[in-house]
Chains A and B, each alone.
Chain A
Amino acid sequence: MSAPAPSVFSELAQQYIHRLGLAPGVPNLDAYSRTLIDLASKDPRIVVVTSDSRGSGKLTPFGEKFPDRHIEVGIAEQNLVGIAAGLAAVGKKPFATSPSSFLTARAVEQIKNDVCYSDVPVVLVGISAGVSYGALGSTHHSLHDIALLRAISNITIIVPADNVETEKAVRAAAQAEHPVFLRFGKAPMYTLHSENVDFKPGRAIRIRDGNDIAFIATGEVVVHCLLAAAYLEEYGVKARVVSMHTIKPLDIDEILAAGKSCRAVITVEEHSVHGGLGEAVAAVLLQAGICVPYYIVGIPDEETVTGSQADIFRHYGLTMESLAEKALLLLGESVGILSHQVGSK
């Protein structure tokens, strides 16, 4: 029997999950699949295109329910995106679903030209994104996808943080008249929002208020920021947590508000520190003349360490404890109060 996968959350972090009353949800991919089946039963334009990725995309139930609306292209990402563009050009609403690493790198020219430049309403769904594949290594990690797509004109980039954001993002994408990229990981998510949270692409959600430091984060690492904020509060530090679910277009007002109200800003993403959320937010602040202590937490520019997603998160500081420590360092506070609890990293 294989050893149980190590949790992304330490025992201490799990105590904070309990204190905050965060309910466990399902992987965002399951929420995607469920929502898409619901939408497809009402909207005949919706089709799914996969590249031998129906299982990992949790789309087997979709194919069973709508066999004529599930197009399999085999292991051929360029063809996946080109076909999706052709389908969209004649009135279909394709959700082209494939591991984000291959979808965005192998087919980047099809994304750029056939989808974005031609402006057809394809939804590109990057699955098992970031370091979801863990020990499978760098071939399978997608730490470049946001950077690549940010440089391409005419695409909305959404990275949901929980099942609620996922469902609302999928519904918004199904209505969109222009290209959309959705990015999902594999791990089960805690629920951060109530069902009636106001979700709009391009408008960030402030999950927690505070004026000492702002965590601006995207996707599946938002929860760690929320836990870090709760942890910091015990030491008198009020941290703001912003779920920047849409990377493009960015919510500039929310970024400026954080830069103006808070003494420091930390961005957090499961992506390379180059070209992702951190650099995007920094550009907004600097061009507005706002200069605050600032730190980009992500995967550094090196060959990613071997290990599970949890190992990799711990190694690079994408954890409650590490984020809290970064916040205090940035604020110039003593880290002594944490030293007995914070790991060596």
Chain B
Amino acid sequence: MTRMTDLELELKSVRYRRAILKYIRHANAGHTGGSLSCVDILNVLYNRILRISPDTVSDPNRDRYVQSKGHSVEALYVVLADRGFFPESELETLCRYKSRLIGHPTRKVPGIEMNTGALGHGLSISVGMALAGKMDKASYRVFTLLGDGELAEGSNWEAAMAASHYKLDNLIAIVDKNRLQITGPTSVVMNIDPLANKFNAFGWKVREVDGHSITDLTRVLSMPPEPGVPTVVIAHTVKGKGLSFMEGDPKWHHGVPNDEQYQQAMQELEHQEREILAKMAMLEKNRLNA
């Protein structure tokens, strides 16, 4: 596969956002805001970083990805379908009677490693996977995506302690720090800041990144780990990113757009798509002229 350009991935992100809204609306259920805040991270992970493909879902040496913030499953399903782990048409069955596309991740879906959704579980599971990798001297890495709200669960800090105790430099945790949870701002509900200091104090290497910048995410997620130290990437994100009326509004935590809102969302995304296509056309023109 030829490496896609940053603009091509940006275009993918717009299309992922469109699909997320389409299928959430179709299912009349879903965690809209959090899916939109983490979809650029998933885009970079699945299209650039993770050594996993539909052909290697059972390969013992595949990279593992555990989505601890399981409620943002719509973003994960859309990205997995785009990468060919299951047919895109199956997204029509999201949350429907007897569908395997449940409202939180399960291993019934190709490409999903663990059943998650109750918060504060993914980091311990990932520590277990990374420990096994160390025991077996395996080459795979373990990535997990955490929400900032879920960091109030104490189990995360049990796992954080164990990760540095066991020197798990094959573990990369990413925090989707969108600063909102269902009740309101995380700083008001239960403040987790200063988050970098907390992870530092637990013995982790902390990297911070703009969680919507394809370029930045690629750069930071490609960095080799510090030997013997687990890495946390604090991704600064916006809940509801990409839709003007959703950004920063906690009511979109699991809001489903009505007809009018959906039309507006599609128009905004179409505008974003046109802008990216125009940039791509200009670059192509410059390349031909050069």
Contact = CB atoms under 8 A, between A and B. Distances in A.
A84 interface: yes
A63 to B, nearest CB: 14
A73 B129 CA distance: 14
Contacts of A79: 124, 127, 155, 158-159, 162
A239 interface: no
B116 A82 contact: no
Q: Which 3 A-B pairs give the minimum distances between C-beta atoms?
A: A86-B128, A82-B124, A79-B158
**Residue from B120, B123, B132 having most chain A Cβ neighbours under 10 A:** B132
**Residue from B115, B117, B124, B127 having most chain A Cβ neighbours under 10 A:** B124
Interface stretch (A111-119, A140-148, A289-297): A111-119
Contacts of B121: 82, 109-110, 113-114
A79 B188 CA distance: 27
A202 to B, nearest CB: 25
Interface in A87-119: 87-92, 94, 109-110, 113-114, 117-119
A91 to B, nearest CB: 7
B101 to A, nearest CB: 16
- Looking at chain A's contact residues, is the secondary structure mostly helix, strand, loop, or mixed? helix
A230 B220 CA distance: 73
A74 interface: yes
Given A79-B124, A89-B125, A114-B125, A74 B131 contact: no
Nearest to A122: B128
A302 interface: no
A214 B249 CA distance: 64
Contacts of B129: 86-87, 89-90
B161 A89 contact: no
Contacts of B136: 91
Given A86-B127, A86-B131, 19 more contacts: A47-B135, A78-B120, A79-B159, A82-B127, A83-B127, A85-B125, A86-B126, A86-B132, A88-B128, A89-B114, A89-B125, A89-B129, A90-B129, A92-B132, A113-B116, A113-B117, A114-B115, A114-B125, A117-B115
B131 A82 contact: no
A152 interface: no
B114 A118 contact: yes
Contacts of A74: 158, 161-162
B107 A71 contact: no
B132 A113 contact: no
Contacts of B125: 82-83, 85-86, 89, 114
A69 interface: yes
A76 interface: yes
A82 B117 contact: no
B127 to A, nearest CB: 5
B103 interface: no
Interface of B: 60, 64, 66, 106-107, 113-118, 120-121, 123-133, 135-136, 154-155, 158-159, 161-162, 166
11 contacts: A78-B155, A78-B158, A83-B124, A83-B127, A83-B162, A86-B66, A86-B124, A86-B129, A89-B113, A89-B125, A114-B115
A76 B162 contact: yes
A40 to B, nearest CB: 13
**Residue from A83, A91, A117, A119 having most chain B Cβ neighbours under 10 A:** A83
A68 interface: yes
B135 A82 contact: no
A68 B136 CA distance: 10
Given A89-B114, A110-B124, A119-B107, A82 B133 contact: no
Contact of A89 (B117, B128, B159): B128
A91 B132 contact: yes
Contacts of A84: 128
B158 to A, nearest CB: 4
Nearest to B138: A90
A100 B121 CA distance: 20
Contacts of A81: 124
A83 B117 contact: no
B161 A78 contact: no
A118 B131 contact: no
Contacts of B133: 90
B162 A113 contact: no
A68 B158 contact: no
Interface string A156-181: 00000000000000000000000000
B124 A118 contact: no
A82 B132 contact: no
Contacts of B114: 85-86, 89, 114, 118
Nearest to B62: A90
Contacts of B128: 82-90, 94
Nearest to B117: A113
A114 to B, nearest CB: 6
Nearest to A69: B135
Contact of A82 (B130, B159, B166): B159
A230 B66 CA distance: 56
A68 to B, nearest CB: 6
A85 B121 CA distance: 10
Contacts of A109: 118, 121
Contacts of A69: 135
**Residue from A47, A81, A118, A119 having most chain B Cβ neighbours under 10 A:** A118
Nearest to B114: A118
